[in-house]
Amino acid sequence: MTAATLGALASHWMRNRVQFLTLVVGLALATALWSGVQAINAEARASYDAAAAALGEGRLDQLVPANGETMPQERFIALRRAGWLVSPVVEGRLRAGTSTLRLVGIEPLTVPVGAAASAALANTDLAGFLEADTLMAGPEAADVLRGALPNPVIVDASIASGTVIADIGVAQELLDRGGRISRLVVSPVQPLRQRPLAEVAPDVVLQRADGASDVGRLTDSFHLNLTAFGFLSFAVGIFIVHGAIGLAFEQRRGMVRTLRALGIPLDRLIVLMILELVVLALLAGGIGILLGYLVAAVLLPDVAATIRGLYGADVAGTLQIRPVWWLSGLAMAVGGALVAAASALWRLSRMPILASAGGRAWAVASGRGRSIQAAAALFLLAAAGGLAVMGAGLVAGFAILACLFLGGALALPLCLAVILKTGQDRSSGVLPQWFWADSRQQLPGLSLALMALLLAMAANVGVSTMVSSFRLTFTGFLDQRLSAELYVDAAGVDDRAALERFLDTRADEIQPILSVETELAGLPAELYGARIGRTYRENWRFLAAEADVWDRVADGEAVIVNEQLSRRAGLGLGDRLAAAPGLALPIAGIVGDYGNPIGQAIVSETLFRQAYPAVSAARFGLRTDNPEALRRALVDEFGLPSSSIIDQAAIKRFSLSVFERTFSVTEALNVLTLAVAAFSILMSLLTLAAMRLPQLAPVWAMGVTQRRLAGLEVLRTVLLALLTAVLAIPLGLLLAWVLLAVVNVEAFGWRLPMFLFPLEYGRLILLTLAAALLAASWPAWRLSRMAPASLLKVFAHER
Amino acid sequence: MLLEIDDITKSYPGPDGPVPVLRGVTLALGLGESLALTGESGSGKSTLLHLVAGLDGADSGRILLDGADVTALDDRGRAALRRTKVGIVFQQFNLIPSLDIAANIAFQARLGGAPDAERTAGLTKALGLEPHLRKYPEQLSGGQQQRVAIARTLAASPRLILADEPTGNLDEKTSDEVMDQFLALVAETGAALLMVTHSPRLAAKLGRHAHLSQGRLA
Ligand SMILES: Nc1ncnc2c1ncn2[C@@H]1O[C@H](COP(=O)(O)OP(=O)(O)OP(=O)(O)O)[C@@H](O)[C@H]1O
Ligand SMILES: [Mg+2]
């Protein structure tokens, strides 16, 4: 019996190859979308980690000698004893044959996670590294080293090109710097009790990791973007799988009825169908993972380029098949298929043996479920609203997203049903009336595909709005914050007054950047002293400000705070803030700050110097028409090391290029999700085509040509897609709002203003319509070319 | 003559080449006439009906309807013919499942561009369909569904009515009832009727009789 039943089940697919193909391809595409995004995500994260590690010291605080290039190794021991978690680094140029490499000597046992070498060390056999005078380098540098030095070389692709890593002892020897170290890397986690730096090592200064933080925020936002996309693509995929499976079961209702009538028990039938499904899902999932791999491989060069632009570090742009997304892809295919099958099997099991497989019976049956669906949609949307008002935390943010997503999807068929009903009631012609009525009947069969389209479209609108808003805001922010052409790092300059005098005649405007870390309103924060000139007045944009804000700050009558401080301390315009002991000033402006995790307040330079006479400017922003000439003067005449001069234009370019690349990846994913959604429409249409004939044949027999009918079929699909796309826009904007105003605030502490991009949405709608048109064309073409005999069969056979 | 069928042949593709079904059928039918077409199962009765309705194309021969050559028309022309001049009642599945009964009855007349509310109401009443107007086809019994199909066909005032065992799925009593109503209404309109039936009893109710056998009329 089992063999015969399996044979019968399989025979359906043999006879209906197109249906079989659509089921497998549908499952495969959903898996591909999911695993492709996963692959890009995982790979991007891995590459970011490698790149971040390559720049590790830039992101961790460091202790550097106050004078000169190096400090004695004893400082390290003294600081460790005093409770400082630091790790020594020696760095220098290493001649190897004709080329010079950057040699970084580290102490493997104390090097903090996140520092340059920690990623590479994690992959390495530590004993081997410590034993001989081993060097570690990327593939290219390793080749150079092998030819030039006797030391054994370990190749590790995660090491930035041109860099060599060695144990500190080995490096000191190679660099001829016995007993000396270049700097100490400060671990991000420090014990609560430690003796002050000035006591333990007065000749060492703490250099805060800054500058990199701007870029670090960008990285985080890109991660969030990819994570959100992964999440959304998962939802789209689940809907598509659900649609594919549901239709596959629907098509075989007649066969199930016959098999049961012939005496096959229901439970046996269900077990066999599940078995069949798992085999199919594994097959399709496997194909999907390969497809996803291809997609990722095509998109990945962009991701790698993003990282290269971001960090200037070389990252391997090749894709590795990671077990995580292999497995999650297969789990998605099989799990999704089973979840989808559960409801279909449940319906089959409750179907009376002799139920008709007719079209309207199906519509009526789903009408009963309609009130449950409406209730669920309302509940979810209300929950989203409630959470938005009352919820807090990142989890609430993601819960809102999920509620919106599911609620929106569930509400779609109901909204469409209402619209189609209105259309039917309003229309007067006979064909239009039939068209609307027939569309209503089609709706249950298409609704899962349309839900997938809705989600794909909404995800696109949401994510592009988020990325574009972020880009606009961030570009504005960079313009405001990086308005000076050059920044000079004065940390290593002894006579800062001399530097200022030197600059006075050469730069158009000097902005000394005075800052201390302090507590404001009981929170850790930074206090800045600013020399208020035209740069500030012209470039800064406030979230909220009083009219004469700069005048009042310049006069020492008011203070400016950033959004983080205002939010966390609950301070608004006019509230008084104790900026320094004995200095309480009203807040005259609140400024958006997207490159900074903590609170900030800005007072005039005069007030700052009065409050903190010992603090001198660690950095200067310089306005000049000719940054290149000024840079050369600083290096050649003043003797500043060129590494102390930061070209902000370059950082800005990097940051913007990150956005461009983020965009191209987002764009590609947009097109991909839409394409997959369009395919799920095609799939549904093809599957429904056979069920459609009994509905179309009478109309044809009464004198409507096949071409006309085919045209109406296309029109219907495009119309449904258009309605769906139009409904998707508000949903997508809601999603964007949640991402920008809830998730971002929770994740980063600031709220991004939301911008609208109507042209972009118009383009998306056109894209969706084109996709729907394509999807509808083939089934319609088949209908228009169908032999009359096939249509006539409708009247001749029992169905 | 309203309908002239002249030496029609038709074959269907089979596993070993074309299988002839109609081997030269000739027939004529005038307005107001009714003809019962009988024959064994598989003899090609339905096939002939489909050719006349322009639902399928013949291999050779001519079919003239109201002077127009059906076999020479393209798809559009044949569709127009069905909208305006021909009404068909099949054995089952005549109705449009997504429309309610009222819309189904009015459908063909409106398609042909000649809806006649009075006539439609009269037919609905005559066939006893008034209580069902707001229902959907699957909520009706087989006999009721066939009455709807008859009402729909007659409401469009076709000159030629084709019926393929219109009561074949019904029990004898219902079949007789429906058939009597059908024939009376057809006679009222003065249209020509070509009806396929297996039943000699029903065939006897019609004016003429033709038997299809071995692909020819006897
Ligand atoms: N689409 C088709 N493809 C191939 N052969 C067909 C097709 N339609 C009908 N036939 C064959 O043509 C012959 C005539 O069929 P037709 O339906 O006209 O018979 P019929 O006289 O109406 O029979 P019944 O009384 O059972 O309805 C049959 O042998 C049938 O097998
Ligand atoms: Mg027949």
Residues B31-67: tens digit of each pLDDT: 999 999 999 998 999 999 989 988 888 999 999 998 8
Give distance in angstroms: CA of B185 to centre of ligand 1.
Answer: 30
In a domain, A452, yes or no: no
In a domain, B7, yes or no: no
In a domain, A118, yes or no: yes
Does A371 have pLDDT greater than 60? yes
Residue A643: which of A105, A176, A168, A102 has the closest Cα?
A102
Q: Is A702 on the interface with B (CB under 8 A)?
A: yes
Is residue A400 classed exposed, middle or buried when 0-12, 13-18 and 19+ CB atoms within 10 A define those classes? buried
A526 in Cβ contact with A599 (< 8 Å): yes
Does A365 have pLDDT greater than 60? no
Q: What is the pLDDT of residue A212?
A: 38
State the DSSP string of A66-99.
Answer: SSSS-EETHHHHHHHHTT--EEEEEEEEEEETTE
Q: What is the pLDDT of residue A672?
A: 77
Query: Taking the CA of residue A238 as centre, how many other CA atoms within 13 Å lie in the half-sphere pointing to its CB?
Result: 16
In a domain, A401, yes or no: no
* B198-208 mean pLDDT: 91
**Dihedral sign for Cα atoms in the order A154, A157, A158, A159:** positive
Structure tokens given for A610? 């009065």
Using one digit for the tens of pLDDT, what is the confidence trace for A594-632? 666 678 899 998 888 888 877 777 778 888 888 888 888
End residue of a domain, out of A624, A651, A678? A651
Residue B91: which of A703, A353, A799 has the closest Cα?
A799
Lowest mean pLDDT among A18-27, A59-68, A161-170, A714-723: A59-68
3-state secondary structure A733-766: HHHHHHHHHHHHHHHHCCCCCCCCCHHHHHHHHH
Q: How many domains does chain B have?
A: 1
Residue of B16, B46, B213 best suited for mutating to test ligand 1, as the one with most atoms within 8 Å of CB = B46
Which residues in chain A touch residue B155, judged by CB atoms under 8 angstroms apart? none
The boundaries of the domain holding residue B191 are 34-54+75-217
Phi-psi region of B115 (alpha: psi -120 to 50; beta: other; left: phi over 0): beta
Q: Please name the residue that has the structure tokens 């007067």.
A: A428
Which residues in chain B touch residue A699, judged by CB atoms under 8 angstroms apart? 96
Q: How many helices (H) and strands (E) does chain A have?
A: 27, 20
Verify that A277 and A340 share a domain, yes or no.
Answer: yes
Q: How far apart are CA A116 and CA A311, in angstroms?
A: 13
Q: How far apart are CA A291 and CA A528, in angstroms?
A: 53
Give the CA distances from residue A350 to residues A269, A336, A343, A353, in Å, rounded to whole numbers and listed in that order.
13, 22, 11, 9
Q: Which of B51, B93, B101 to mutate to test the interface with A (most CBs of A within 10 A)?
A: B93
Distance from CA of B160 to the nearest CA of A (A): 13
> Using only C-alpha atoms, what is the Rg of chain A?
33
Verify that A501 and A643 share a domain, yes or no.
Answer: yes
End residue of a domain, out of A322, A357, A392? A357
Q: Which one of B55, B80, B95 has the shortest CB-CB distance to A788? A: B55
Verify that A639 and A521 share a domain, yes or no.
Answer: yes
Using one digit for the tens of pLDDT, what is the confidence trace for A779-789? 899 889 888 88
Beta bridge partners of A514: A529
What is the value of pTM for the model shown? Answer: 0.68
Is residue B10 lining ligand 1, measured as CB closer than 6 Å? no
Give distance in angstroms: CA of B42 to centre of ligand 1.
Answer: 5
What is the 8-class DSSP label of residue A643? G
Q: Do B83 and A703 touch (CB under 8 A)?
A: yes
Is residue A2 classed exposed, middle or buried when 0-12, 13-18 and 19+ CB atoms within 10 A define those classes? exposed
Q: Is B133 on the interface with A (CB under 8 A)?
A: no
Supply the residue whose CA is at minimum distance from atom 14 of ligand 1.
B44
Which residues in chain A touch residue B96, judged by CB atoms under 8 angstroms apart? 434, 437-438, 695, 698-699
A776 vs A541, residue with greater confidence: A776
In a domain, B81, yes or no: yes
Q: Is A785 on the interface with B (CB under 8 A)?
A: no
Q: A793 falls in which pLDDT band (50, 70, 90)?
A: confident
Does A643 have pLDDT greater than 70? no
Q: How far apart are CA A269 and CA A571, in angstroms?
A: 67
A136 in Cβ contact with A120 (< 8 Å): yes
Q: Do B99 and A433 touch (CB under 8 A)?
A: yes
Lowest mean pLDDT among A413-422, A703-712, B86-95: B86-95
Please give the residue of chain B at the shortest CA–CA distance from A698: B94
* A440-444 mean pLDDT: 85
Q: Which of A431, A434, A702 to mutate to test the interface with B (most CBs of B within 10 A)?
A: A702
In a domain, A253, yes or no: yes
Lowest mean pLDDT among A403-407, A544-548, A616-620, B1-5: A616-620
Q: Which ligand is nearest to the CA of A793?
A: 1
Does A57 have pLDDT greater than 50? no
Q: What is the pLDDT of residue A660?
A: 67
- Give the three-class secondary structure for A544: strand
Q: B19 falls in which pLDDT band (50, 70, 90)?
A: very high
Q: Which one of A438, A695, A701 has the shortest CB-CB distance to B82? A: A701
Verify that A91 and A167 share a domain, yes or no.
Answer: yes
Verify that A188 and A274 share a domain, yes or no.
Answer: no
B51 in Cβ contact with B8 (< 8 Å): yes
Verify that A189 and A231 share a domain, yes or no.
Answer: no
Ligand 1 atom closest to the Cα of residue A789 is: 1
Query: Residue A520: in which H helix or E strand, if any?
Result: strand A509-520
Q: What is the pLDDT of residue A221?
A: 61
Supply the residue whose CA is at minimum distance from atom 31 of ligand 1.
B42
Portion 21-60 of B in contact with A at CB < 8 A: 46, 50, 53, 55-57
In a domain, A192, yes or no: yes
Is residue B168 lining ligand 1, measured as CB closer than 6 Å? no
Structure tokens given for B93? 């599945």
Tell how far CA A388 is from the center of its chain. Answer: 22
State the DSSP string of A208-270.
Answer: ---SHHHHHHHHHHHHHHHHHHHHHHHHHHHHHHHHHHHHHHHHTHHHHHHHHHTT--HHHHH
Distance from CA of A667 to the nearest CA of B (A): 41
Q: b vs e for B128-146, b when ≥16 Cβ sit within 10 Å of the residue's Cβ?
A: ebeebeeebbeebebbbbb
Strand A86-96 relative to strand A99-106, pairing: antiparallel
Q: What is the ipTM of this complex?
A: 0.77
Ligand 1 atom closest to the Cα of residue B45 is: 21
Supply the residue whose CA is at minimum distance from atom 10 of ligand 1.
B12
The boundaries of the domain holding residue A113 are 62-207
Q: A312 falls in which pLDDT band (50, 70, 90)?
A: very low
Verify that A43 and A191 share a domain, yes or no.
Answer: no
In a domain, B23, yes or no: no
Verify that A120 and A252 share a domain, yes or no.
Answer: no
Verify that A78 and A137 share a domain, yes or no.
Answer: yes
Q: How far apart are CA B176 and CA A288, in angstroms?
A: 60
CB contact set of A514 (below 8 Å; sequence gap of 6+): A528, A529, A530, A605, A608, A609, A612, A615, A616, A617, A618
Is residue B44 lining ligand 1, measured as CB closer than 6 Å? yes
Is residue A52 classed exposed, middle or buried when 0-12, 13-18 and 19+ CB atoms within 10 A define those classes? buried
Q: Is A695 on the interface with B (CB under 8 A)?
A: yes
Verify that A589 and A632 share a domain, yes or no.
Answer: yes
In a domain, B65, yes or no: no
What is the 8-class DSSP label of residue B33? -
Please give the residue of chain B at the shortest CA–CA distance from A695: B96
Q: How far apart are CA A254 and CA A599, in angstroms?
A: 67
Verify that A79 and A17 share a domain, yes or no.
Answer: no
Q: How many CB atoms lie within 10 A of CB A316?
A: 16
Phi, psi of B41 (to 5 degrees): -60, 130
Does A24 have pLDDT greater than 70? yes
Ligand 1 atom closest to the Cα of residue A790 is: 1
Verify that A568 and A632 share a domain, yes or no.
Answer: yes
B145 in Cβ contact with B95 (< 8 Å): yes
Q: Do B75 and A707 touch (CB under 8 A)?
A: yes
Q: How far apart are CA B218 and CA A401, in angstroms?
A: 75
Query: Taking the CA of residue B89 as centre, how many other CA atoms within 13 Å lie in the half-sphere pointing to its CB?
Result: 33
Highest mean pLDDT among A183-197, A266-280, B25-39: B25-39
Q: How many domains does chain A have?
A: 3
In a domain, B152, yes or no: yes
In a domain, A376, yes or no: no
Q: How far apart are CA A374 and CA A366, in angstroms?
A: 12
Strand B60-65 relative to strand A163-167, pairing: unpaired
* A315-336 mean pLDDT: 70
Give distance in angstroms: CA of B140 to centre of ligand 1.
Answer: 28
Supply the residue whose CA is at minimum distance from atom 4 of ligand 1.
B12
Distance from CA of B56 to the nearest CA of A (A): 6
Using one digit for the tens of pLDDT, what is the confidence trace for A286-311? 998 888 888 777 776 665 555 554 44
Q: Which one of A430, A441, A707 has the shortest CB-CB distance to B111? A: A430
Beta bridge partners of B212: B39, B217
Q: How far apart are CA A622 and CA A510, in angstroms?
A: 5
What is the 8-class DSSP label of residue B209? E
Residue of B23, B45, B195 best suited for mutating to test ligand 1, as the one with most atoms within 8 Å of CB = B45
Residue A706 corresponds to which amino acid? Q
Size of interface A-B (CB pairs under 8 A): 99
Residue A739: which of A294, A318, A221, A359 has the closest Cα?
A221
Q: What is the pLDDT of residue B39?
A: 92
Structure tokens given for A147? 């030819």
Residue B202 corresponds to which amino acid? L
End residue of a domain, out of A151, A172, A207? A207
In a domain, A388, yes or no: no
Supply the residue whose CA is at minimum distance from atom 25 of ligand 1.
B41
We report the CATH number of the domain holding residue B141 as 3.40.50.300
CB contact set of A770 (below 8 Å; sequence gap of 6+): none
Is residue B98 lining ligand 1, measured as CB closer than 6 Å? no
Q: How far apart are CA A442 and CA A417, in angstroms?
A: 10
Is residue B47 lining ligand 1, measured as CB closer than 6 Å? yes
Q: Do A694 and B93 touch (CB under 8 A)?
A: yes
> Using only C-alpha atoms, what is the Rg of chain B?
17
Using one digit for the tens of pLDDT, what is the confidence trace for B137-186? 888 888 899 999 999 999 988 999 999 989 888 888 888 988 999 999 99
In a domain, A736, yes or no: no
Q: Please name the residue that has the structure tokens 């006349």.
A: B52
Is residue B145 lining ligand 1, measured as CB closer than 6 Å? no
Q: What is the pLDDT of residue A313?
A: 43
Distance from CA of A727 to the nearest CA of B (A): 25
Q: How far apart are CA A252 and CA B22, in angstroms?
A: 36
Give distance in angstroms: CA of A340 to centre of ligand 2.
Answer: 41
Give the CA distances from residue A47 to residues A102, A311, A316, A700, in Å, rounded to whole numbers and listed in that order.
21, 11, 7, 60
Q: Do B111 and A792 touch (CB under 8 A)?
A: no
Residue A164: which of A179, A149, A178 has the closest Cα?
A149
- Give the three-class secondary structure for A322: coil
Q: What is the pLDDT of residue B54?
A: 86
